[in-house]
Amino acid sequence: MNFLSSIFKLNDIRGIYPTELNEEVAYRIGRSLVKLLNCKNIAVGRDIRLSSKSLFDGLTKGIIESGCNVINLGLISTDALYYVMGNSSYDCGVMITASHNPPQFNGFKIVKKGGIMLYEDNGLKDLEDLVLNMDLNEKSSTLGQIISLDIKQEFINYLLSFINKEGIKSLYFGIDTSNGMAGLFIRDLLNQLPVRFEIINENLDGSFPNHLPDSFKKESWEQISNLIKNKKLDFGVVFDGDADRISFFDEKGEYIDSSVIAILIINNLLKNNSQKAIIIDSVLSPLIEEKIKQLKGVPIRTKIGHSFMKNSMRENDALFGAEHSGHYYYKKHFYCDSGMITLLMMIQILSKNDKPLSLLKKEINPHVMISEINYLKTEDYKEKLKLIEDYYQSTCLIEHFDGLIITGKGFRIHIHPANTGPFIRINLEAENNKILEEKNNELNNLFSRFNFQLAQ
């Protein structure tokens, strides 16, 4: 069973179904989870992926055979599981999802009471050891029960508590739920507000027929961009498959960098909450730190990844957190991320502002950006990245924080070896298009010289 180690990632469990992750593996995880955390009740939700129900059956079989009850939440979004774990006394919660990955993937996000994540250095490695080594012949003398719980309306009411419905304008916007879990809640949620909206890819479909459920991929942006332009909408959003992250688009159908969205939300939250910590990942624009300081907040940078973000949020009792990929974290949401809360926050913010989102974007961050370029890792990628660092050493400020940060005259480059895939990720920000194009070409030439291949 040593092959199982490949599915235990830094932040969660994830693999291809059924070759890497299947019902037998799910059963072992269920048995091991009860033993690791001494659970009496485990809440389990799942996304719409074609393998999620089968994995639910395997996981819950292992749980109840260990004498633990299963609280069956059915089809939900990941942020709904965080809500349940923050508001209940259940020992553990499991979300069956592979988030934004292609349809053949699935996985488990595991949460302890209070919304505290299980990750590599906080229990996930111990769970892996149990899955690999525990004696499955040791079963409980009594079986647990499966108890169904419908939280839909309760969760919608909770989401609405993040905003003041008074003063919401009749904005007209578009939503692409990517055939994922936001489609379960979004219409009923927004019908509580005096807004107009168009929804595409709303039906739940685990084959994701229209585009990958990745809100951060350019291939997922075309449909919402066309909808915005055709319907003359005020803005638009794309959710990922499990609805914990979200991307925004202005009235021209153009992508809005997460730094801009974060600054808008921070400006709104810090008005009456000065001296509060704000957690940001290392890729977001340096302009965001300046803005936080102007508002008398405390900017704290952390590593990319939801386990690092949530841990830092909790350690610093942070008011808010943001990642460049479209994850937004809220103290009130048990220091966890939510795409739907972020949409509601932006509806409230834009209702108070008469300027279009494209103009707000230019005022907040006039820089131009390339959000992400992916190269495939090579065996000797560390040595090659050192050579790239040496290339910039004499003319730029070099910083090592969650990768390599290169700051020069009018530009900033972030190079980050991904934790969860075979990629080298590059983010580039510049003062104008001329510098952006020049540095992009320079980077392309450097990476080609060292035999890195662009990822498809």
Kindly calculate the radius of gyration of the chain based on its CA atoms and give it in whole angstroms.
Answer: 22
Q: Is the separation of the CB atoms in 97 and 78 below 8 Å?
A: yes
Please list the active-site residues: 99
Q: Which two tokens stand for residue 378?
A: 């090579």
Tell me the C-alpha to C-alpha distance, in Å, between residue 82 and each of 130, 148, 336, 356, 393: 25, 17, 7, 33, 44
Q: What residues pair up with 430 in beta bridges, in sequence order?
A: 368, 411
Residue matched to tokens 């050579």: 387
Peptide bond into 18 cis (omega under 30): yes
* Cα–Cα dist 149/162, whole Å: 23
Encoded tokens for 402: 């969650």
CA distances to 201, 288, 289, 406, 420 from 282, in Å: 32, 11, 11, 12, 17
Both structure tokens of 316? 């610093």
d(CA 244, CA 277): 22
Sign of the alpha-carbon dihedral angle for 35, 9, 289, 268? negative
Tokens of 49: 């992926």
